[in-house]
Amino acid sequence: MLNVGSQRDGQWSFARPSFVLLAVLLPMVVGGCNGIDTNGGPSFTTEVATETLHAGAVNVDQIDRGQYGDIVEGTQTVLRDEETYASFWERLHADRNSVPDRPEVDFEEKVVVAIVLGRRSTGGYGVEIDEVLASDGGGRIQVQFAETVPGNNCVVTQALTSPYVLATVEAQDEDFTFEGAEETRSC
**Segment 38-52, tens digit of pLDDT:** 556 555 555 555 556
Residue ranges of the domains in the chain? Answer: 53-185
Could you tell me if 147 and 179 are in contact, meaning their C-beta atoms sit under 8 angstroms apart? no
Burial degree of 64 (CB within 10 A; 0-12, 13-18, 19+):
middle
Q: What are φ and ψ of residue 176, in 5° steps?
A: -110, 140
Q: What is the pLDDT of residues 81-139, one digit of tens each?
A: 999 999 999 999 998 888 899 999 999 999 999 999 999 999 999 999 999 999 887 78
Q: Which of 128, 131, 130 is nearest to 148 (CA)?
A: 128
- pTM for the model stands at 0.70
Mean pLDDT, residues 23-36 taken together: 52
